[in-house]
Amino acid sequence: MAIISVTTSELTSRARVSAFQETVATLCRLEFSPDDPETFRSSTAIGVMPEAMLAWGRHSQCAAERTPELAAGGSDNVMIHFMRRGAFQMHQTGGPDVICESGHVYIDPNEVAGTSRFLAEGTEAFYISLPRSTVAGLRGINDHLRLRVDATPQWRLLQCYGEALFADMDMLTPEQIALSSRHLQDLAISAFSARDPGPLAETMAARLRLIKEDIASLLHQPDLTPELIAARHGISSRYLRMIFASEATTFRAYVLQQRLHRAHATLWDPAAIMRTISDVAGATGFSDLSWFNQSYRRRYGQSPRETRAEAMTARLTPSPD
């Protein structure tokens, strides 16, 4: 999907402000008033997706006003401002005056009038706009609106994913863009939920449970890869890795842990006493016996054969009266 962009460097100096304003008013529903029209510099780029919009902007010192008329013509979205460089001052109807700098996030109810003033030359921000219905079910959502919040790990994860998606958007298929739009919504729910653990990111948690169940059914396959699981669940492998990162682990580490746990349980199982160690390794997805032995010893502090011997001894030792 193409990115729509407009920059003053591509406009003649005499008509720079008016031509830029004419374009931006339509795209962003803002009216720009430069501090110095002669030296005014601004660049804006916007990518429109199903159920989401991404944008990037860099501006010299100026004011950007969303008038009541422009606000009334907008959609019922929530726009998240991620400050990357410089600073801006924001005032929206019904909210306080706030100053946002790098490391801050501003939550903008997109249908509300207001004025932002870019305070430093080259102030730069990244924006993600989502339908209010995406986050409307979260308790306390109104506590975020018209306010500056610190960029928590959850907000930074959303920002990083959005910026990576924005950079590659023109190379993705419509199906991949639609999936990525849903990923943005999941990550936004996680970020909004961080202040209120009650509703927590149920969509992501439910998806992770299904993925773990699927992994359990496929542990015997040596070629159990992130790409395979991602394809089975209709998500990107990058997003799959993000889900496991939210639990402070990786896909491969989780799969290895589950394989070793299943192998250990099998070696303790009396019904599996006649199975060879290599058979147990193969049945849990290890195609390399030496790697299995090495990983097993690192996890349990003994070899698979020692575990089996310990299990046999435990079964033969009479229990005390």
**How far is it, in rounded angstroms, from Cα 292 to Cα 284?**
10
Main-chain phi, psi angles of 45, to 5 degrees: -135, 135
**How far is it, in rounded angstroms, from Cα 83 to Cα 57?**
10
What are the pLDDT digits (tens) for 153-166? 889 889 999 998 99
Give the model's confidence band at 235: pLDDT under 50 very low, under 70 low, under 90 confident, else very high: confident
For the question of whether the overall pTM of this predicted structure is more than 0.75, the answer is no
Q: How far is CA 6 from CA 24, 59, 196, in A?
A: 8, 12, 39
Helix (H) or strand (E) segment spanning residue 18: helix 16-28
What are the pLDDT digits (tens) for 85-99? 999 999 888 888 899
DSSP reduced 3-state for 185: helix
Any bridge partners for residue 9, and if so which? none
Query: What mean pLDDT comes out for the span 188-201?
Result: 61
Any bridge partners for residue 80, and if so which? 107, 128
High-pLDDT (> 70) share of the chain, %: 85
